[in-house]
């Protein structure tokens, strides 16, 4: 647990100085000025306990902590910040929601606020303030956090997942640029396999990676789990086509993808076993930070997801909303902190710290320095704009969140791709599970 | 005299009838009840209440953050037709049966071995305990690495020896994945069985073996007619706990496979957690948990009434 008190703030001077631009006096000065003019005045003696997911890019954590420290110093709000692994944030937030205590704010995966909408503090005023000031919210981010006209949380960022590939392997396979459509992508993967430089994407219970790319496959073929009225429509010719295409694709993969979790492709790519995968920017960042991987870093590139037969981007990118619980004793402090996080002076530095791992959800940040700092980051800047919400074309909410959490789409593809089920059988299982959830 | 004797004595209060409260205070059974009350309260609060709450939740559509309403048997009806639930039942039974049987066999063998006089006996006993003292999640992560599809040390070694050309798809293949999680459970559970049985073996009087040896009994006969009967009560206890621990295992599976590939290693415990906590459907998760109770009761019944049909249980000597 990271506790920011006056003493630790002073003692942490060395660390803050080391972080340089991220934590310099400019941020503190801005925080002080902001606190004076803020629409939300933290309650006297306010103390916020914040849970977030463990960072994948260390500098992002440094930038976040600097922001917390500046907010604390400017407003006098005590801040307790602790991190949990991605998978543990939601269960722990659920316990807090159920018991009505323990946390004030939780920052987690896209489905979080929709899982317990009656337990969150409505953030309409914060969303309105930020949206007006920074060019409005991206569609997927807004849909992810809204229920009717109410904002259940604030979409802080989107973790973009795109193609990460070795350029030399792609060129050896006979491609000058990364394919932009599904047939071209399949041909590339076939050629990569032939050259013993295979592609591979998770078919296991990987919350981010597997759900991400397999929903892209499903939606790219025009198939959806439910329609806009939440009627289950998974049993369709489009789903069969999606399965057949994905089976052909998975036949080109490196063996073992059925067991992969979120970290497996990172390991395989960085060790030189894997040459093309769908992932966040973390593989590239890790390679860049490792002096022994200079060659791999230079050879690693990113590309947008190819577009399916439907003819437009159909991506599931991971929006990461922050929510405040309605039982918090300090709602103003909570709102002030969330608003402060997304102010330009704080947020740009945070995005830079995340080095492309986090993508903005407010349109005004399209030109943030991080997207031009390294040309290879640029692809990820579009994640929030190209994404559909986790519910696809259906209604966001508890049921859509449950379907994602239960890996229904992932299991359907894995059942067929591993040969456990026929296409008909795999779809029938998914359909039954969806009817169970959407009953 | 008789008249005088029958007159009531002046200055003394008449004997009043004992009230219920007096009886409760004086009754030794009630005194016992008062002494038992804290324990009862503890059991009700921490054992019976959660169980009752779990059963109640399974009859509701409760989700995280809201209590839900009574929906009768609906959760159970959906589970009845749920292929993933039945797959988890099959996985749990397979996992429990195979792992418990092998753990018992290896544990008994080690216990018999460590009960013999041999050099470095104390050190060997300590070594046997190593898997038990390593935190479960740590050992699960170690096995996850050992069985990794790309970086398995086993695949690497076999390839170096020229025995295989491609990596073995340990956790990505259904049969291999089941075998791997069962292996990890056996590795972790053997020390408990071995050390407990060893403790039981140490209570067997050496004079029985001496007498049997003098009578010309073979080592198998000594085991069959001395060791095994005297070890039966310990075996019953060990196997009961071993089966219960294995049936309700969660950490190993969750850390190694998350129930994959394609739900082939999902146990009832992991599926319950996934549906209730990750998916937020508390009612259904509780129903899956409750579905474990009949299996667990059956395991206990077999253990206690099958293995311990002996009179010493009732305080009498054996036939």
Q: Residue A305: CB partners within 8 Å, gap ≥ 6?
A: A162, A163, A213, A216, A278, A313, A315, A386
Asked whether the predicted pLDDT for residue B118 surpasses 90, the reply is: no
Bond from prior residue into B78 cis (ω within 30 degrees of 0): no
Q: Residue A26: CB partners within 8 Å, gap ≥ 6?
A: A345
Bridge partners, A47 (sequence order): A78
CA distance A380 to B235: 60
CA distance, residue A37 to nearest chain B CA (Å)? 35
Among residues 344-403 of chain A, which lie with CB inside 8 Å of chain B? 398, 401-402
Please name which of B254, B303, B295, B259 lies closest in space to residue B88, comparing C-alpha atoms: B259
* B169 lies within 8 A of chain A by CB: yes
CA distance B84 to A205: 14
> Number of A:B CB contacts under 8 A?
117
* A414 lies within 8 A of chain B by CB: yes
DSSP output for B212-257: HHHTT--HHHHIIIIIHHHHHHHHHHHHHHHHHHHHT--HHHHHHT
At A330-379, the pLDDT tens digits run 999 999 999 999 999 999 999 999 999 999 999 999 999 999 999 999 99
At A381-437, the pLDDT tens digits run 999 999 999 899 998 888 898 899 899 999 999 999 999 999 999 999 999 999 999
CA dihedral B137, B139, B142, B144 (to 10 degrees): -60
At A269-283, the pLDDT tens digits run 999 999 999 999 999
CA B305 centroid distance within chain: 16
Least confident of A56-70, A115-129, B93-107, B188-202: A56-70
Tell me which of B66, B150, B171 to substitute to probe the interface with A (most A C-beta atoms closer than 10 Å): B150
- Answer yes or no: do A205 and B260 touch at CB < 8 A: yes
Asked whether the predicted pLDDT for residue B24 surpasses 50, the reply is: yes
Say how many Å lie between the first and final Cα of chain B, rounded: 68
Q: What is the pLDDT of residue B117?
A: 82
DSSP designation for B68: -
* A256 lies within 8 A of chain B by CB: yes
Please name which of A190, A191, A188, A192 lies closest in space to residue A177, comparing C-alpha atoms: A188
Confidence of residue B20 (pLDDT cuts 50, 70, 90): confident
Bridge partners, A358 (sequence order): A159
Q: What is the pLDDT of residue A6?
A: 38
Q: Which residues of A touch B279 (CB under 8 A)?
A: 401-402, 405-406
Asked whether the predicted pLDDT for residue A9 surpasses 50, the reply is: no
- Answer yes or no: do A205 and B258 touch at CB < 8 A: yes
CA distance B5 to A194: 122
CA distance B133 to B144: 18
Among residues 2-21 of chain B, which lie with CB inside 8 Å of chain A? none
CA distance A430 to A225: 9
Q: What is the pLDDT of residue A61?
A: 87
């Amino acid at each position: 647990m990271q506790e920011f008190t006056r003493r630790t703030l002073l003692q942490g001077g060395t660390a803050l100085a080391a972080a340089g631009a991220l934590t310099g006096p400019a941020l503190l000065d801005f925080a002080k000025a902001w606190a004076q003019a803020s629409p939300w005045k933290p309650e006297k003696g306010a103390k916020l306990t914040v849970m977030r997911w463990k960072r994948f890019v260390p500098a992002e954590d440094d930038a976040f902590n600097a922001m917390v420290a500046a907010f604390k110093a400017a407003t006098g709000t005590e801040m307790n910040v602790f991190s949990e692994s991605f998978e543990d944030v939601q269960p722990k937030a659920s316990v807090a929601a159920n018991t009505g205590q323990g946390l004030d704010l939780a920052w987690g995966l896209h489905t979080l606020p929709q899982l317990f909408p009656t337990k969150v503090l409505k953030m309409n005023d914060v969303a309105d303030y930020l949206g007006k000031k920074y060019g409005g919210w991206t569609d997927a981010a807004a849909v992810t956090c809204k229920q009717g006209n109410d904002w259940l949380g604030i979409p802080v960022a989107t973790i973009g997942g795109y193609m990460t590939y070795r350029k030399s392997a792609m060129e050896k396979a006979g491609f000058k640029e990364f394919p932009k459509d599904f047939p071209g992508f399949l041909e590339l993967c076939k050629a990569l396999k032939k050259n013993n430089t295979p592609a591979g994407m998770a078919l296991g219970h990987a919350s981010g990676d597997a759900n991400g790319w397999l929903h892209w496959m499903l939606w790219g073929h025009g198939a959806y789990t439910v329609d806009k009225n939440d009627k289950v429509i998974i049993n369709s010719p489009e789903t069969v086509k999606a399965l057949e295409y994905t089976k052909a694709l998975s036949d080109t993969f490196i063996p073992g993808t059925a067991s992969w979790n979120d970290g497996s492709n990172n390991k395989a790519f960085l060790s030189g076993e894997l040459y093309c995968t769908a992932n966040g920017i973390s593989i590239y960042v890790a390679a860049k930070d490792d002096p022994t991987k200079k060659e791999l870093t230079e050879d690693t590139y990113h590309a947008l997801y190819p577009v399916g037969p439907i003819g437009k981007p159909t991506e599931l990118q991971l929006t990461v909303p922050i929510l405040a619980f309605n039982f918090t004793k300090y709602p103003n402090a909570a709102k002030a902190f969330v608003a402060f996080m997304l102010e330009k002076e704080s947020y740009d530095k945070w995005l830079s710290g995340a080095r492309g791992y986090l993508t903005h959800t407010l349109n005004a940040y399209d030109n943030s320095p991080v997207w031009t700092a390294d040309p290879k980051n640029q692809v990820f800047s579009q994640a929030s704009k190209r994404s559909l919400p986790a519910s696809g074309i259906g209604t966001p909410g508890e049921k859509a969140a449950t379907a994602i959490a239960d890996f229904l789409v992932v299991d359907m593809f894995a059942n067929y791709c591993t040969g456990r089920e026929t296409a008909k059988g795999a779809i029938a299982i998914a359909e039954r599970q969806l009817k169970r959830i959407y009953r | 005299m008789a008249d005088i004797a029958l007159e009531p004595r002046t200055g003394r209060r008449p004997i009043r009838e004992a009230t219920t409260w007096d009886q409760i205070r004086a009754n030794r059974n009630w005194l016992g009840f008062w002494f038992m009350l804290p324990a009862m309260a503890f059991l009700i609060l921490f054992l019976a209440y959660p169980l009752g709450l779990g059963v109640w939740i399974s009859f509701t559509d409760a989700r995280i953050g809201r209590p839900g309403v009574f929906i009768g048997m609906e959760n159970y009806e959906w589970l009845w037709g749920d292929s993933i639930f039945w797959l988890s039942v099959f996985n749990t039974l397979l996992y429990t049966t195979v792992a418990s049987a092998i753990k018992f066999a290896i544990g008994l063998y080690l216990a018999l071995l460590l009960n013999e006089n041999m050099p470095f006996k104390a050190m060997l006993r300590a070594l046997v305990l190593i898997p038990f003292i390593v935190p479960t999640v740590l050992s699960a992560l170690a096995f996850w690495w050992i069985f990794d599809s790309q970086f398995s040390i086993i695949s690497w070694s076999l390839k170096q020896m020229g025995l295989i050309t491609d990596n073995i798809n340990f956790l990505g293949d259904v049969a291999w994945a089941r075998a791997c999680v069962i292996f990890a459970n056996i590795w972790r559970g053997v020390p408990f069985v071995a050390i407990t049985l060893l403790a039981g073996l140490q209570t067997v009087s050496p004079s029985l073996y001496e007498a049997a040896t003098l009578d010309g009994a073979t080592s198998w006969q000594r085991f069959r007619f001395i060791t095994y009967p005297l070890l039966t009560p310990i075996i019953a206890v060990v196997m009961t706990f071993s089966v219960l621990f294995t049936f309700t295992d969660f950490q190993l599976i969750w850390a190694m496979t998350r129930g994959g590939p394609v739900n082939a290693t999902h146990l009832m415990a992991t599926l319950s957690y996934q549906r209730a906590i990750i998916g937020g459907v508390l009612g259904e998760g509780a129903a899956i948990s409750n579905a474990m109770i009949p299996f667990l009761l059956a395991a206990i019944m077999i253990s206690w009434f099958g293995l311990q049909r002996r009179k010493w249980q009732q305080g009498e000597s054996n036939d």
